[in-house]
A and B are shown apart, each in its own frame.
Chain A
Amino acid sequence: MKKLNQRAIALQLIVFVTQWGLMILGFGILALLVAPLRLQLDPSLGRYFDAGVKAMIALILSTSWLYIWDRQVRLYFYRKREGTAEPV
């Protein structure tokens, strides 16, 4: 068995479990709050307008999710080496 970087694995475990929990929460928000939304104004294009708005909300949620991921990795791995990791 090769020597593993146990510290890195432990920190990544925290990152992955947090992101996993947040992802399930995000999908819960989409399933319970966003998907039932009906915003149809124009009957002909309403279906696509609805889909566009929902896609936009999903995009905002996923961007926030990735931002939290970014913060976590910088906090756990690059905190003492800010010079090597400028924020995005």
Chain B
Amino acid sequence: MLPSGWGITTAVLLAIVSFPVSLILTRFFMQVNGKRGIVGIDVHKLNKPRIPEMCGASIPITLILLSAAYVLIGGGNSLMMLAFSLVVGSAAVVGVLDDRLKMRGIYKPLLTLLCGLPIVALGLLYPNQVYNPTLQVPIFGAFHLPVIYPLSIPVAISVTSNTTNMLDPLNGTMAGGVSIISAALLIGVLIKDPAPSSVFLYAALLFAALGFFYFNRYPSRAFAGNVGQLSVGAALGALAILSRSEIASIVAMFPNIQNSFFFLSKIKRFTEHRALTAKPTKLLDDGRLASSSDPKAPLTLVRTLLVGRPAKESEIVSTIFALYLISGTLALITMILIG
């Protein structure tokens, strides 16, 4: 049963504002970055259009602005909002550095480890007010992890941010996928434990991602860049910890986990897609994508979906969204099982 009350209503109404804010900011970055030559080539199109990059900066900016506004109107847990904003902001800074400096693949996971430190530090300063080291498990109850839990927070933020970064090879996959994940977890939070701050942050992430998705959907007019991908992934990781939806978040991110695991298991090192000699997919003369026949190419999710069946980019994007709907549904069931 959905909760009632002003706390939740205010949280959702303010979160909806993140849609137009993200939309306007994305439009702004499209114009500014396009003029400054901050563009990327859409390699999966035959005419190779040049698309403004780093427009995903609109999402972390929207999230931080709205979180501050939520605290100012007295609606949110200020510690939770501060921890969330610091994580998202620091991941965005790492993303900007990577976008501008083109760092080696190993630096991103290392630097994003640091992005989880604000939650750990605030948790140590204010015990049990930022995170709770008791992990809630579906069906089997819960177990207390006083040492392992805080130590795993930086790893969790690094994993979620980098795995989100890795699954944005086609138009709109990251923004659309994160929208589906956020929607599923938002429904779960509303059913299970409607804490206004958690509801606000999941709803804000959903609408901010949708605002960006409007321009990023197939055919893309804006690319997220590492700034958008890393900060959105860090937001998911931070929310998993702050709203105590750790296991459900893992389930919701199954498509990301599969993509990253098969990439790393094949390549056996942290590297950038641009540095790969054997690409996982190839563009056919008719504009469709096909799985690579190179045995050295990584088995990414997109390649797996293309095995033996070349397809248009839009079809693959829709198939990936269907996978997110499956994982989102399983995440929702997980939250219900946790109770």
- A interface, CB within 8 angstroms of B: 1-5, 7-9, 12-13, 15-17, 19-20, 23-24, 27-28, 30-32, 35, 47-48, 51, 54-55, 58, 66, 69-70, 73, 77-78, 80-81, 83-86, 88
Given contacts A2-B318, A4-B318, A31-B140, contact A16 B327 (CB under 8 A): yes
Once bound together, how far apart are the Cα atoms of A86 and B266, in whole Å? 9
Is there an interface contact between A70 and B315, defined as CB atoms closer than 8 Å? no
Residue B190 CB within 8 A of the other chain: no
Residue of A at shortest CB range from B325?
A9
Residue B322 CB within 8 A of the other chain: yes
Once bound together, how far apart are the Cα atoms of A50 and B230, in whole Å? 34
Interface SS, A side: helix
Is there an interface contact between B292 and A69, defined as CB atoms closer than 8 Å? no
Given contacts A2-B314, A55-B148, contact A27 B330 (CB under 8 A): no
Which residues of chain A are near B327, meaning CB under 8 Å?
A: 16
Is there an interface contact between B143 and A24, defined as CB atoms closer than 8 Å? no
Which residues of chain A are near B135, meaning CB under 8 Å?
A: 27
Once bound together, how far apart are the Cα atoms of A15 and B323, in whole Å? 11
What number of B residues sit within 8 Å (CB to CB) of A? 49
List 28 A-B residue pairs with CB atoms under 8 Å apart, sorted by A's residue number.
A2-B312, A2-B317, A3-B315, A5-B305, A5-B319, A8-B309, A9-B322, A9-B326, A12-B326, A19-B254, A20-B330, A20-B334, A24-B140, A28-B140, A30-B137, A31-B143, A51-B147, A51-B148, A69-B258, A70-B262, A77-B307, A78-B304, A80-B308, A84-B292, A84-B297, A84-B307, A85-B299, A86-B295
Residue B74 CB within 8 A of the other chain: no
**Known pairs A5-B316, A13-B326, A20-B254 / 8 extra A-B pairs, C-beta < 8 Å:** A2-B318, A24-B334, A35-B143, A47-B147, A48-B147, A66-B261, A80-B308, A84-B292
Which residues of chain B are near A20, meaning CB under 8 Å?
A: 251, 254, 330, 334
Given contacts A5-B305, A31-B143, A88-B266, contact A73 B311 (CB under 8 A): no
User: Contact check: which of B142, B247, B258, B311 meets A5 at CB < 8 Å?
Assistant: B311
Shortest beta-carbon distance from A65 to chain B in Å:
10
Once bound together, how far apart are the Cα atoms of A58 and B309, in whole Å? 38
Once bound together, how far apart are the Cα atoms of A2 and B297, in whole Å? 27
User: Contact check: which of B292, B299, B315 meets A78 at CB < 8 Å?
Assistant: B299
Shortest beta-carbon distance from A85 to chain B in Å:
6
Residue of A16, A48, A58 most packed against chain B (CB within 10 A):
A16
Once bound together, how far apart are the Cα atoms of A3 and B140, in whole Å? 40
- B interface, CB within 8 angstroms of A: 135, 137-148, 247, 250-251, 254, 258, 261-262, 265-266, 291-295, 297, 299, 304-305, 307-309, 311-312, 314-319, 322-323, 326-327, 330, 334, 337
Which residues of chain A are near B295, meaning CB under 8 Å?
A: 83-86
Which residues of chain A are near B305, meaning CB under 8 Å?
A: 5, 8
Which residues of chain B are near A48, meaning CB under 8 Å?
A: 147
User: Contact check: which of A4, A27, A28 meets B319 at CB < 8 Å?
Assistant: A4
Shortest beta-carbon distance from A18 to chain B in Å:
11
Once bound together, how far apart are the Cα atoms of A10 and B256, in whole Å? 18
Is there an interface contact between A9 and B258, defined as CB atoms closer than 8 Å? no
Once bound together, how far apart are the Cα atoms of A5 and B314, in whole Å? 11
Is there an interface contact between B315 and A24, defined as CB atoms closer than 8 Å? no
Is there an interface contact between A17 and B330, defined as CB atoms closer than 8 Å? yes
Which residues of chain A are near B137, meaning CB under 8 Å?
A: 24, 27-28, 30-31
Which residues of chain B are near A8, meaning CB under 8 Å?
A: 304-305, 309, 319
Which residues of chain A are near B330, meaning CB under 8 Å?
A: 16-17, 20
Is there an interface contact between B148 and A54, defined as CB atoms closer than 8 Å? yes
Is there an interface contact between A73 and B251, defined as CB atoms closer than 8 Å? no
Which residues of chain A are near B326, meaning CB under 8 Å?
A: 9, 12-13, 16
Which residues of chain B are near A4, meaning CB under 8 Å?
A: 315, 318-319, 322
